[in-house]
Amino acid sequence: MKAYVVGGAVRDRLLGATVHDRDWVVVGATPDQMLAAGYTPVGRDFPVFLHPVTHEQYALARTERKAGVGYHGFVFHAAPDVTLEQDLARRDLTINAIAEDPATGELIDPFGGRLDLEQHVLRHVSDAFAEDPVRLLRLARFAARWPQFAVADATLALLKRLVVSGEVDALVPERVWQEVSRGLNEAQPSRMVALLRECGALARLAPALDACLADPAARARTMQAIDHAPATTMLRFACLVHALEAAASGSDGLPPLQALCARWRVDADSRDLAVLVAREWPTLHRADTPFDPPRCLALLERCDAWRRPERLHGALPAFDALAAASGDDATVYTVQRRCALVRHGLQAAQAVQVATLSPSQRQAPGPALGQALRQARLRAIAEVFARS
C-alpha cells in the first residue's frame, strides 16, 4: 500500500501558491485494509476515507467508465491492481494530473502537467474530458482564476463537442450556480463568461443572458464591470445580469432575470440584489431622466429601504462598477451624484419617525398617518437635494 499527494495540492505548490488542503490517492489497498488501519469511510460512490489523525481525504486508486448521461453517468472500478498512472489518466486537466511521492518528493507526471504549468496552458488529459459536463464549468472557473493561462485549442474543441453532444444539458442547476458563483470570485471572472460563450455553453445554460452579451459594446461593458466590481458573488452576479431587466420575457412568462435565478436556483440574497440593481440602474445612470426628491423617495420605497437599508447600501458598489465600465465621464458623474443623493436621502428619511410628526398627525387614522409620514420623508429628502 502506497499513498501519493495528488491534484490541486501538487499543482498549487508548483505554482508557488498556498496549499490549504491535501488529497491523497492510495495504490495497492483494499477497503478492508483501510478500515483496519483506522481510516473512516466517507465515500458514497467510490472508496474514500479520512485519515485517523489528519482527517485528510485518501481515495483508493480507481478508473472510471462512461455509462450514462451527465456527471453521475460513470461506473468506477477501485481495486489493488489499479495503478497510479491509471488513476491520474481519469483526471480533467494535465495540471491536475500530477502526483507527488511524499517520502522522496518525486513528481509522477505522465501527461506533462508540469510543462503546462510552466507554459500557462489549460489542457485536457484525454478525450474522456468531453464525457463530464462539470469539467467544462471547472475549466471556465480555472480560466477566471489564472488569467495568464490559455486554453489549448484541442481542449476548446472538446468543450464545443461536449455542448453539441447535449452533455451540458444534464448539468443540475445547483452545480451550475456553485461553479459560476465561485468563478465570479476569481481574479478575472470575465474569462469564465467569455469561455462559456465561446464554446456555446452559455447559450444552453442561460440563453437570455447569452443574447444580452451578443452585442460587442454591451458585452465589453459587462465584462469590465464584473472584473472591477468588489470580489463578492452577489455584486458581480448583479453586474453580470443587470441588462436582463430590459430583455423580453420567455415562454414561461417570468421576467428573464427572475427566470434565470429560478433556473440556476440562485440564493435569495443574490437574486434580490441582482433584481434591485437591474431595476434601478436605468434610473441612476440615464442623465436624460430627471432625478428629483419624489423619484428618490419612490426608489427608496421600491427598494424597501426602511426595512432593508443594508441591501440598498450593498447595491451601491455595483452601480459604481457599472458606471466605471461605461467609459463615459458624464455617466460616472451622474451615477456618483445620484448614489450620493440616495445615500444621504435615505439617512434623512430614516430620521423621520412617527414621534417626529405633529400631535394631530400622530392621531390620524392609519392611511392618513402613513401619508403624513411619507410627506415628511419627502420634505427631508428635498432638503438634502437643496443642499447638494
Torsion of CA 274, 278, 280, 283, to 10 degrees: 160
Instruction: Report how far residue 265's alpha carbon sits from residue 244's, in angstroms, rounded to the nearest whole number.
Output: 17
Domain match, 63 and 36 both: yes
Instruction: Report how far residue 258's alpha carbon sits from residue 268's, in angstroms, rounded to the nearest whole number.
Output: 11
The answer to the question of residue 64 being in a domain is yes
The grid coordinates of residue 95 equal 495540471
**CATH number (domain holding residue 185):** 1.10.110.30
C-alpha 15 chain-centroid distance? 23
Domain that holds residue 180: 120-205
* Domain end residue (candidates: 49, 82, 111): 111
Residue-level pLDDT at 70: 46
- Beta bridge partners, 100, equal 5, 107
The answer to the question of residue 210 being in a domain is no
- Residue 376's alpha-carbon distances to 111, 128, 351, 357, 361, in angstroms, are 71, 67, 10, 8, 11
The answer to the question of residue 256 being in a domain is no
Query: Which residue do the cell numbers 508540469 mark?
Result: 114
The grid coordinates of residue 326 equal 461605461
State phi, psi for 70 to the nearest 5 degrees.
Answer: 90, -170
pTM above 0.85, yes or no: yes
Domain match, 19 and 96 both: yes
Domain match, 107 and 126 both: no
* Domain end residue (candidates: 111, 136, 163): 111
Domain match, 124 and 107 both: no
Instruction: Report how far residue 232's alpha carbon sits from residue 181's, in angstroms, rounded to the nearest whole number.
Output: 9
Contact 139, 192 (CB under 8 A): no
User: Could you give the number of structural domains in the chain?
Assistant: 3
- In tens digits, the chain (388 residues) has pLDDT values of 899 999 999 999 999 999 988 999 999 999 999 999 999 999 776 789 999 999 999 999 998 765 455 445 446 788 899 999 999 999 999 999 999 999 999 999 999 999 999 999 999 999 889 888 999 999 999 999 999 999 999 999 999 999 999 999 999 999 999 999 999 999 999 999 999 999 999 999 999 999 999 999 999 999 999 999 999 999 999 999 999 976 655 555 578 999 999 999 999 999 999 999 999 999 999 988 899 999 999 999 999 999 999 999 999 999 999 999 999 999 999 999 999 999 999 999 998 887 777 776 776 677 877 788 889 999 999 999 999 8
Indicate the residue type of 20. H
The answer to the question of residue 37 being in a domain is yes
The grid coordinates of residue 351 equal 430620521
Contact 278, 242 (CB under 8 A): yes
Domain match, 147 and 80 both: no
Domain match, 129 and 107 both: no
Domain match, 41 and 104 both: yes
SS3 (DSSP) at 320:
helix
The answer to the question of residue 244 being in a domain is no
Domain match, 5 and 101 both: yes
Instruction: Report how far residue 137's alpha carbon sits from residue 195's, in angstroms, rounded to the nearest whole number.
Output: 9
Contact 234, 288 (CB under 8 A): no
Domain match, 5 and 94 both: yes
In 3D space, the residue among 211, 263, 274, 267 whose CA is nearest the CA of residue 241 turns out to be 274
- Residue 9's alpha-carbon distances to 66, 103, 341, in angstroms, are 27, 16, 49
Domain match, 85 and 177 both: no
* Domain end residue (candidates: 111, 132, 153): 111
**CATH number (domain holding residue 19):** 3.30.460.10
The answer to the question of residue 227 being in a domain is no
Domain match, 126 and 79 both: no
The answer to the question of residue 246 being in a domain is no
Domain match, 2 and 26 both: yes
Residue-level pLDDT at 67: 46
The answer to the question of residue 56 being in a domain is yes
Instruction: Report how far residue 288's alpha carbon sits from residue 311's, in angstroms, rounded to the nearest whole number.
Output: 26
CB atoms within 10 A of CB 329: 9
